[in-house]
Chains A and B, each alone.
Chain A
Amino acid sequence: MNPTNYLVLSVILFSIGAAGVLVRRNALVAFMSVELMLNAANLAFVTFARMHGNLDGQIVAFFVMVVAAAEVVVGLAIIVTIFRTRRSASVDDASLLKL
């Protein structure tokens, strides 16, 4: 099977994730859309690694996963903190610098 199919799937998933970030205002859903974009990029990395017979792509995908885990931990902590002060998980409500 032509590996370009995987690339096109990765493009589609990435774009859907971007749409989620643009359209949704629930901070959690926007955040999950960012995760979807990272995953789509990972699929492209793995596909390229196999396409070129070079394992470096898989290593980069692995590091992306680790960084995504760290990002999720901090991001969710921020969302919980904002929810405590604002009683809302909407990104529109966190419009003031002072919380």
Chain B
Amino acid sequence: MGEAALFWIMAPIAVLGALGLVLSRKAVHGALSLAVTMISLALFYIAQEAAFLGVVQIVVYTGAIMMLFLFVIMLVGVDSSDSRVETIRNQRAAATLAVLGVIVLLTAVTVRATLPEEPAGLTQATPDGNVAAIADLIFGTYVWAFEVVAALLITAAVGAMTLTHRERIFNRPTQKELSIKRFSEGAPGDAAGLPVPGVYARHNAVDTPALLPDGTPSEASINRVLVARGAARSTEEFRHRPTPADIEAGATETRSSVEGEGRLASDADEPAAGDDDTTGGERA
């Protein structure tokens, strides 16, 4: 009874996760839905007297493999989404049809096959518990396969390192060389480094351009990766425009009232204001 409840609750969730993997446009969303499916599969394993496999499923699949996928998605670009144009005409319709055919065929086979109505259960096969019985088999009957698989894992790790390794063709520029290059090539104004993002602006986040002393935002202060991704805030938003109140205060009132206003604004931003130095350090 409890198992039936678990199955009828988790099975739709597993199928939804699988559909989410296939139908979501962004790879990150797909990876997260696949993680949901894998966790529900782990629950099914535990419900079917395979406690060891259930734990391995969570540790290896959702823990290690999905994290590896997420890392690679971050490397390749989070927003790399598929184009909707079909390379082969009617490929999607044909694939859907074929898959529906496979579902019908395999379901018909499994439902019509003469299988035991009630599972035999593993109590006889696992007298000392699931883990002990699996250990008996792995290090007894299947010890040769186990060793081969171990060799395969090592080979795979070495292969991955070989595939992703890149020789550095040029020496990495030292700080001295960078400094000389900055003086000889760049504008002298940049010799002390580019302006730090967020300085004098209303935010000190890295996506916010610095305001130069004359009130214009500096494009050079934002990381070009952020600009390329479109994640940087527009410089227009932070351009200093004198408000009517400013003009009035400057024309008629004393200087102190303007300063009072400025202090109010800085008070509002105070929790973030301490980060100024760290933000600059990260960018440099």
Contacts and interface: CB of A to CB of B under 8 A. Distances in A.
Given A15-B103, A42-B41, A77 B82 contact: no
Interface centre among A1, A22, A49, A61 (most CB of B within 10 A): A1
B175 to A, nearest CB: 27
Contacts of B133: 55
B95 A19 contact: yes
A13 B18 CA distance: 7
A22 B14 contact: no
A52 B120 contact: yes
Contacts of A5: 7, 11
Interface centre among B19, B52, B65 (most CB of A within 10 A): B65
A46 B48 contact: yes
Given A35-B65, A72-B65, A9 B92 contact: no
Contact of B87 (A25, A65, A79): A25
B31 interface: yes
Given A6-B7, A46-B45, A78-B163, A67 B152 contact: yes
B122 interface: yes
A54 B137 CA distance: 11
A64 to B, nearest CB: 10
B245 interface: no
Contact of A7 (B60, B92, B110, B121): B110
A12 B37 contact: no
Contact of A24 (B11, B22, B65, B153): B22
B75 interface: yes
Interface of A is mostly: helix
Interface string B34-57: 100110010011001110110011
Nearest to A66: B149
Contacts of A58: 50, 52-53, 134
B234 interface: no
Interface string B82-125: 11000100011001101110110011001100011111111011
A23 B75 contact: no
A1 B111 contact: no
Given A22-B95, A23-B91, A62-B56, A9 B11 contact: yes
A24 B96 CA distance: 12
A80 B75 contact: yes
A78 B27 CA distance: 17
Interface of B: 3-4, 7, 11, 14-15, 18-19, 21-22, 27, 30-31, 34, 37-38, 41, 44-45, 48-50, 52-53, 56-57, 60-61, 64-65, 68-69, 72-73, 75-77, 80-83, 87, 91-92, 95-96, 98-100, 102-103, 106-107, 110-111, 115-122, 124-126, 133-134, 137-138, 142, 145, 149, 152-153, 155-157, 159-161, 163-164, 166
18 contacts: A5-B7, A7-B115, A12-B103, A16-B19, A20-B21, A24-B82, A26-B81, A28-B72, A28-B76, A36-B18, A58-B50, A65-B53, A65-B56, A65-B61, A69-B65, A72-B65, A80-B163, A90-B82
Given A11-B107, A51-B116, A67-B152, 15 more contacts: A11-B102, A12-B18, A13-B14, A17-B18, A18-B102, A19-B99, A33-B21, A36-B37, A49-B48, A53-B119, A54-B125, A62-B52, A69-B60, A79-B76, A81-B163
